[in-house]
Structure 1
Amino acid sequence: MGSISASYSLPPRKVTFAGLLFDMDGTIIDSTTAVEKHWHTIGNELGVDPNVILQTSHGRRSMDVLKILSPEKANWEYIKHMEGLLPKLYGADAVEIPGARALLDSITTAKAPWAIVTSGTSPLVSGWLNVLKLPVPEHLVVAEDVENGKPDPSCYVMGRDKLGLRASDNILVLEDSPAGIRAGKAAGCKVLGVVTSHTVEQVVAAEPDWVVKDLKSVRMVGFINGGVELEICDALDLKSLA
């Protein structure tokens, strides 16, 4: 998604971070087609209009969606079972976000500190990583780990803590949803927003530090003295939206 007036034209910039925290869906993979099919099945089973679910579900935990639309199913046993089926049934419908594999491969090879912080449950995350054969991080923060989902910052605070970092460290969150961007900012992190699932105006309104089309614009330059040096290119020129 994007805007006709958006200009992704800023010159390359190198920035060093103590660690990287990645959202999953919309940032590393695009499972939109699979999720739509799955929510249609679940919605029909629950007697809830699937289109109503899809209007509010992206970037949010299934727990938070079901608490509103079907409270009797808002329990982790049901949700983990439901989400665990998604990669098994619709694995062929998920694709990588451009640039994601190259970036993850480079930081994994360098043994740089990174984690996935997602609104999905552990069976969903492990299922997608397995289906797409993507690098598996040492640390995960999943839906069932936190009391409140994004935009609450607790998930990113937990991610930072799992990497052994402090609030004063320069940490980068990579996100696609406005709720996730706001969660990263509220956790005190720098945030790079990718325009993959929302309009550029929605992403910009959440006030990330950089906005790019996808992860092809992010390249690891090096990992020296505990710092992950990234080059961010073709970022959005915010003046182009004026």
Structure 2
Amino acid sequence: MAYTTPPFEVTFKGLLFDMDGTIIDSTAAVVKHWHTVGNEIGVDPKVILQTSHGRRSIDTLKVISPDKANWEYVRQMEALLPKHHGADASEIPGARPLLDSLINVNARWTIVTSGTEPLVGGWLEVLKLPSPPHLVSAESVEIGKPDPACYNLGREKLSIPSSESDQVLVLEDSPAGILAGKAAGCKVLGLVTSHSAEQVLAAGPDWIVRDLQSVRMVRGDGDAVTLQISDALAAN
């Protein structure tokens, strides 16, 4: 597959960012983390890692270790991840300049993640990335991705009505997150940072790029933002 689409512009009223694989790359840290947790709870870490990306830890634990599937344990467990493995995480290329440009024009954006508040706060602190004005975390909804509840809530936090869902852009890397964004009626930009292009394509995003270096804000304000997307794959 070739990332050769000429630059084009798209305009949205708000942007909803996934966290891991979209703003940060914490894959190496998460692998180490789940190996530790798996050994502690007596579950093969390889089994956990086959299904954990893009899903809430509490949903993973409901399947592999139901007695640990409670918010007290999950929040405590995830709070340790940035503390113990902060050196193993990095920014997704292009994430920081895109977030900074949105902040500079008071554009509407936030993070919608399967991670808990302690995990998100820990990563933002370790990497010195900007905190969103709002946050939709794992604790915010009863059902995690691929259910659309999280992205519906994210849109609501940006004060955008459901009738304008297609004027919201979801930025995602995991098939579960892409499916959640589409089910919420949003446009979805898929990133090929944690899954293959074929896996991302199969989830049905509107556009596909390698990472956020292909996304640049060209103009914007508190009402709308226009992005230029370059070097993309045509997903439809």
TM-score normalised to structure 2 length: 0.97
Matched, 1:90 2:85: yes
Distance between the aligned counterparts of 2:27 and 2:128, measured in 1?
18
- 2:176 alignment partner in structure 1: 179
SS at match of 1:77: helix
Q: One-letter code of the match for 2:50?
A: Q
Distance between the aligned counterparts of 1:47 and 1:157, measured in 2?
36
SS at match of 1:25: coil
Distance between the aligned counterparts of 1:237 and 1:56, measured in 2?
27
Q: One-letter code of the match for 2:107?
A: A
Offset of residue 224 of structure 1:
4.1
Distance between the aligned counterparts of 1:179 and 1:41, measured in 2?
25
Unaligned runs of 5+ in 2: none
Matched, 1:71 2:66: yes
CA-atom RMSD, angstroms?
Answer: 1.0
Matched, 1:219 2:216: yes
SS at match of 1:168: helix
Offset of residue 238 of structure 1:
5.1
Aligned length: 234
Q: One-letter code of the match for 1:13?
A: F
Unaligned runs of 5+ in 1: 1-5
CA displacement 1:43-78 (0-9 Å, x = unmatched):
000000011000110000000000000000000000
* Contact 1:217-1:233 at 8 Å conserved across structures: yes
- 1:3 alignment partner in structure 2: none
Decide whether aligned partners of structure 1 residues 75 and 235 sit closer, same or farther in structure 2, where only a CA change above 3 A counts: same
SS at match of 1:150: coil
Distance between the aligned counterparts of 1:109 and 1:93, measured in 2?
29
Distance between the aligned counterparts of 1:52 and 1:41, measured in 2?
13
Distance between the aligned counterparts of 2:105 and 2:227, measured in 1?
13
Partner residue of 2:159 out of 164, 180, 185: 164
Q: One-letter code of the match for 2:135?
A: L
CA displacement 1:175-211 (0-9 Å, x = unmatched):
0000000000000000000000001000000110000
- 1:33 alignment partner in structure 2: 28
Runs of 4+ in 1 over 3 A off after TM superposition: none
Matched, 1:60 2:55: yes
Distance between the aligned counterparts of 2:211 and 2:147, measured in 1?
24
1:1-242 equivalence runs, <5 A: 6-169=1-164, 170-224=167-221, 226-237=223-234
* Contact 1:11-1:234 at 8 Å conserved across structures: yes
Offset of residue 111 of structure 1:
1.0
* Contact 1:9-1:237 at 8 Å conserved across structures: no
Decide whether aligned partners of structure 1 residues 91 and 209 sit closer, same or farther in structure 2, where only a CA change above 3 A counts: same
* Contact 1:7-1:237 at 8 Å conserved across structures: no
Decide whether aligned partners of structure 1 residues 227 and 107 sit closer, same or farther in structure 2, where only a CA change above 3 A counts: same
Kindly, what percent of the aligned residue pairs are identical?
A: 69
SS at match of 2:228: strand
SS at match of 1:174: strand
SS at match of 2:147: coil
Distance between the aligned counterparts of 1:14 and 1:75, measured in 2?
43
CA displacement 1:16-44 (0-9 Å, x = unmatched):
10000000000000000000001000000
Distance between the aligned counterparts of 1:138 and 1:225, measured in 2?
13
Decide whether aligned partners of structure 1 residues 128 and 225 sit closer, same or farther in structure 2, where only a CA change above 3 A counts: closer
